[in-house]
């Protein structure tokens, strides 16, 4: 398994609508394993394939508490889709591995039901609330080319993007 390079905004792959996975191949399984390694290496709780320059509908998530650098037991989702959501919205200060040092308050449904294919090709449904629900929505947004600052008003988005560009320049120094 390998740690893949994470792509940062404004990389074009982050705005692509990803392709559905038709057949689970050994390559797809390796990508999911590598994505999990990458997520843990970056101390993230979720990662979508476009963040590692792969325009396929693949997501890994693990919101369970763990020590820094520790590997958990990730949920690997192929072709995930939200099929149900609560009407109750809650706000979470979200970060993103593709937007380093940027945090944005995003209002999302507090509970969701997600349908996906597992690594054995079986259709599964997962009901999630709280952080797991937010993480699933965030990562599935990536599969549709949506980023956290897209939830902001135009004025707040411009301010956040200017701050992000400054942060990105500081990362290069």
Q: Which residues are catalytic?
A: 139
173: exposed, middle or buried (Cβ count in 10 Å: 0-12, 13-18, 19+): exposed
- Measured CA to CA in angstroms, residue 153 lies from 70, 110, 128, 149 at distances of 37, 21, 28, 9
Is there a contact between 75 and 48 (Cβ–Cβ < 8 Å)?
Answer: no
The answer to whether the peptide bond before residue 10 is cis (omega within 30 degrees of 0) is yes
Q: What is the 3-state secondary structure (H, E, C) of 83-94?
A: EEECCCEEEEEE
């Amino acid at each position: 398994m390998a740690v893949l390079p994470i792509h940062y905004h404004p990389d074009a792959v982050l705005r692509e609508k990803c392709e559905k996975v038709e057949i689970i191949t050994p390559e797809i399984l390796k990508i999911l394993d590598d994505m999990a390694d990458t997520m843990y290496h970056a101390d993230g709780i979720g990662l979508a394939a476009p963040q590692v320059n792969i325009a396929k509908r693949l997501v890994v998530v693990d919101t369970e508490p763990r020590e820094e650098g520790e590997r958990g037991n990730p949920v690997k989702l192929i072709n995930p889709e939200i099929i149900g959501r609560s009407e109750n919205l809650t706000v979470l200060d979200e970060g993103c591995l593709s937007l380093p040092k940027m945090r944005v308050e995003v209002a999302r449904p507090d509970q969701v039901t997600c349908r996906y294919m597992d690594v054995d090709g079986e259709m599964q449904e997962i009901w999630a609330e709280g952080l797991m629900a937010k993480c699933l929505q965030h990562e599935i947004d990536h599969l549709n080319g949506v980023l956290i600052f897209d939830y902001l008003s135009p004025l707040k988005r411009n301010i956040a993007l200017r701050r992000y560009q400054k942060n990105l320049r500081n990362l290069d120094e």
